[in-house]
Amino acid sequence: MPVENWMSKDLITIDEDASIMKASKLMKQNDIQHLPVLKKGRLVGIVSDRDLKEAQPSKATTLDIHEMYYLLDKVSVKSLMPKSLFTITAGETVEKAAAVMLKQKISALPVVDAQGALAGIITKGDIFRAFVSISGIRQAELAMGFELEDRPGSIAEVTNAIRAHGGRIASILTGYEDAPTNFRQVYIRAKEVKDEGALFKELESKYKVLYRIHDKVD
- Mind listing the pLDDT tens digit of every residue in the chain (218 residues)? 999 999 999 999 999 999 888 898 999 999 999 999 999 999 999 999 888 877 665 444 544 555 555 566 667 888 888 889 999 999 999 999 999 999 999 999 999 999 999 999 999 999 999 999 999 999 999 999 999 999 999 999 999 999 999 999 999 999 999 899 999 999 999 999 999 999 999 999 999 999 999 998 87
User: Domain segments of the chain: what residues?
Assistant: 3-132, 136-214
For 58: left if phi > 0, alpha if psi spans -120 to 50, otherwise beta; the answer is beta
Task: Provide the terminal-to-terminal Cα distance of the chain, rounded to the nearest Å.
Answer: 24
Amino acid at 202: E
Q: What are phi and psi of 120, to 5 degrees?
A: 175, -170
Looking at 3.40.190.10, 3.40.50.2300, 3.30.450.20, 3.10.580.10, the CATH number of the domain 3-132 comes to: 3.10.580.10
Predicted pLDDT of residue 79: 86
Q: Which residues, in sequence order, are bridge partners of residue 48?
A: 34
Predicted pLDDT of residue 218: 74
Query: Using CA atoms, how far apart are residues 112 and 133, in angstroms rounded to an integer?
Result: 24
Domain 136-214 has CATH 3.20.20.70: no
